[in-house]
Amino acid sequence: MGLFNWTEKTSTTLDNGGVIAPDERLPWPQTTMMGVQHVIAMFGATVLAPLLMGFNPNVAILMSGIGTLIFFFITGGKVPSYLGSSFAFIGVVIAASGYAGPGPNANLGVALGGIIICGLVYTVIGVIVHATNVKHTRSTPMAGMEVDEVDEGAAVHWIERLMPPVVTGTVVAVIGLNLAAIPIKNMAPTGFDAWMQAITFISVALVAVYARGMTQRLLILVGLIVASLIYAVLTNGLGLGKPIDVSGIANATWFGLPTFAAPVFQAQAMLLIAPVALILVAENLGHIKAVSAMTGRDLNPYLGKAFIGDGVATMVSGAAGGTGVTTYAENIGVMAATKIYSTAMFVVAACIAIVLGFSPKFGALIQAIPLAVMGGVSIVVFGLIAIAGAKIWVDNKVDFSDNKNLLVAAIPIILGTGEYTLKFGEFGLGGIGTATFGAIFLYWLLSRGAAPQTRPAA
């Protein structure tokens, strides 16, 4: 099957509660609407990250679209993911550039040089993973073994050995839980905003349960629109909160080139930012495992290409003045809710993001969405990611009566949720990074000659 030859499914598939696989798609009008929904899901975080680092948000949006297309082509259209601005770079970029905010980062070029080198390290890791993470079959028996003792179909996946279901489920759950504080603490500054978040996630939940067909699959977009209308009535109409400001939409131009920037390669900044590649590996690894679990397809063979795609996209983004990018948990949450995994909708979403990057007016429209409403949507999306991790445990029948499994899950979940950070000089490994590598290390450590578990009598 060619790169753009998706098998088309009709709306009947949706009406019957069917799943749309990565190599399938809905008719283009519905696929386009799904693409819009994914753009909305990624937009808030992709714009927020560059603002916190003093980058141009329009460049970040543009490069997220270009990066997603790069990822699509390198993975052969097999891995449904969207690439947006990575928050893992914020601390090291601020440290390397001396950015005190707000406004543009005066030392942006220094940060960009470090981001490019980080992308290069990430790409090299991807090449190594792709070269080694392959299936091997034995054609001859091993020394000292009888022929009938050799499993001719035995497959050796070191990634699967490194991350069995108990580790994978933990990492995926941590991704959602680690993000939980963002909407709760940062996107509801007033009591009214907190109530609006509740109205928003209730709206999404009602659409998810009581709507049918395409409307049900567009639960994030439809719930957001309903909540925004309610917000407008309560604020612009009744004066109960901060009204929606549409002046930015009216004043923005339809078309305009974003402000690009050139990298500057400074040794200290490169050494400080390059280790972020380890965090990106952890994030991407968890995301690939989550998508594999949701789609029921083994995406391990594409893991190396996914790393390469993300690494190359990060280098291209940094070369133009954009942030480092990563596969986005927000979009994985949308897939978990809609059960539509078509890579076609990410091509559409990427094209829309590119248009947004060149159109300040469309960007202003998205930015006019009330913060509290975006917060309510984020609560839904991040929660769905956490539940996807638990689903991996359930589907693989992880035995939590085994103390090894219990502790491999319990400790990293607290590390990731509480943002436990380990410092290596100026570089800090925290949150998702410590949880991921902690889970892998604990599983390895506790599997070394562990005592047999005592189980209660049946």
Cα dist from 29 to 8, 209, 351, whole Å: 12, 23, 15
Residue 450: is its pLDDT beyond 80?
no
Question: Where is pLDDT greater, at 143 or 238?
Answer: 238
Take residue 131 and report the two structure tokens written for it. 């070269």
In angstroms, rounded to a whole number, what is the distance separating the alpha carbons of residues 259 and 57? 10
Q: How many CA atoms lie within 13 A of 44 on its CB side?
A: 24
On the question of pLDDT at 317 being above 80, the answer is yes
Alpha carbon distance 150, 32 (integer Å) = 50
Bridge partners (DSSP) listed for residue 327: 83
- Look up residue 388 and give its amino acid: A
Looking up tokens 């990057």 gives 357
Domain boundaries, the chain: 21-133+158-244+261-446
3-state helix, strand, coil in the chain (%, to 5): 65, 5, 30
Q: Report pTM.
A: 0.71
Q: What is the DSSP letter of 82?
A: -
pLDDT for the residue 102: 60
Bridge partner residues of 428 (DSSP):
423
Q: Is residue 82's pLDDT more than 90?
A: yes
Asked whether the predicted pLDDT for residue 339 surpasses 60, the reply is yes
Structure-token pair, residue 292: 């594999």
Among 166-180, 231-245, 302-316, whose mean pLDDT is lowest? Answer: 166-180
- Which residue is it, tokens 């047999």? 452
User: Per residue in 169-185, is it b (16+ CB within 10 Å) or e — as a string?
Assistant: bbbbbbbbbbbbebbee
Supply the DSSP symbol for 237: I
Tokens 């386009």 belong to residue:
32
User: Would you state the structure tokens that stand for residue 177, as one six-digit string?
Assistant: 């839980």
CA–CA gap between residue 22 and residue 345 (Å, rounded): 10
Residue 32: exposed, middle, or buried by beta-carbon count in 10 A (0-12, 13-18, 19+)? middle
pLDDT of residue 137 exceeding 60, the answer is no
Query: Would the CA dihedral through 14, 71, 104, 260 be positive or negative?
Result: negative
Strands (E), 288-393: 325-327
| Residue 257: DSSP 8-state | -
Q: Name which residue leads in pLDDT, 135 or 357.
A: 357
Sign of CA dihedral 415, 181, 68, 114: negative
Q: Are strands 24-25 and 421-424 parallel, antiparallel or unpaired?
A: unpaired
**What is residue 11's predicted lDDT score, i.e. its pLDDT?**
65
Q: How confident is the model at residue 158 (pLDDT cuts 50, 70, 90)?
A: low
Average pLDDT of every residue of the chain: 82
Per-residue pLDDT at 143: 38
Which tokens is 201 given? 């996630």
What is the per-residue burial (b if ≥16 Cβ within 10 Å, else e) of 110-130?
bbbbbbbbbbbbbbebbeebb
Q: Which of 16-20, 72-76, 198-202, 405-409 has the lowest mean pLDDT?
A: 16-20
Strand, coil or helix: 423:
strand
Decide if pLDDT at 445 tops 60: yes
Contact 26, 342 (CB under 8 A): yes
User: So what's the pLDDT on residue 237?
Assistant: 85
CA-nearest of 120, 102, 174 to 430 is 174
Tokens of 92: 């090291």
Is there a contact between 312 and 121 (Cβ–Cβ < 8 Å)? Answer: no
In whole angstroms, give the CA distance from residue 182 to residue 292: 26
Q: What is the pLDDT at residue 214?
A: 64
Q: Taking 80 as the threshold, does the pLDDT of residue 441 lie above it?
A: yes
Supply the pLDDT for residue 452.
56
Is pLDDT above 50 for 177?
Answer: yes
Paired tokens of 29: 């009008």
